[in-house]
Amino acid sequence: MASSLLTPETLQRLANAGLDPSRLPRHIAVIMDGNGRWAKSRGLPRVEGHRRGVMSVRTTIEECCRLGIGQLTLYCLSVENWKRPQAELDFLMTLLHEYLIAERAEIMEQNIRFTTIGRREGLDAPVVREIDENIRVSRDNTGMTLCLAINYSGRAELVDAVKRLAVRVRDGELDPDAIDETLLSEALYTGMMPDPDLLIRTAGEMRVSNFLLWQISYSELWVTSKCWPEFDVATLHQALHGFASRERRFGGLT
């Protein structure tokens, strides 16, 4: 963890939660699943699940900042989600647009550096405009990096990365024999971001759903049966305690 994120307040917060700073993930990625199921189980429209899920997003971001986590990546909208009913998609775009505006002040107050990954094609122009504005105003912030995966697909990301490298080869800038894991990693949307140490998935689903396929090769997976609108500080702490209890060997031996 970056020492600049370990303030006295952060260390006290970690101590209160029984968390060891040396055993925290640098980068947490989250598949936020179960908004619709949460709403359906309560006799509510699916869109109310998405609305309630925004509260869990806010809570999770705030607590990760307090704990000194270096990066949080949230899976907001997948390429596959475009198959959903148009009314739901329209609501999601409106909700995202409102969120980007409403949280700008908090992003600046918390010293968060905001960024996104995914394809921009298909996103509403007002959403793209607010994404760019949040990136612009927060580019010099030095706290946690908040990355939203919007219109994202792990397979599409790999295709786009290969295309970037192919163009460089075609233009004589790159020898094909020089392509290695480092070059491919740098060509991904995530560029020089650290790979996630911990991948959290809600709603009990045991799959990665085309999310950060290259980057999670050695991530620890932690799944909760809670739907995303139920995800709270206590659940986040459970995930972090679970991560801290694991022995990470990366294919080697202790």
CA atoms within 13 A on the CB side of 252: 4
Active site residue 90: no
Q: How far apart are CA 199 and CA 230, in angstroms?
A: 17
Beta-carbon contacts of 132 under 8 Å, excluding residues fewer than 6 positions away, are none
Q: Tokens in use for 117?
A: 């990954």
Which of the residues 16, 20, 33, 35 is marked catalytic? Answer: 33
What's the rounded Cα separation, in Å, for the pair 193 and 212?
Answer: 12
Q: Mark 56-89 as b/e (b = at least 16 C-beta within 10 Å).
A: bbeebbebbbbbbbbbbbbbbbbbebeeeeeeeb
Is residue 33 part of the annotated active site? The answer reads yes
Q: Helices 86-102 and 125-138, interaxial angle, to 10°?
A: 30
Q: Residues 81, 111, 141, 210: which is the catalytic one?
A: 81
Contact 25, 243 (CB under 8 A): yes
Is the separation of the CB atoms in 113 and 72 below 8 Å? no
Q: Residue 59, CB half-sphere, CA atoms under 13 Å: how many?
A: 15
Closest by Cα among 159, 153, 150 to 208? 153
Run of H or E residues at 49: helix 46-67
Active-site annotation, residues? 33, 81
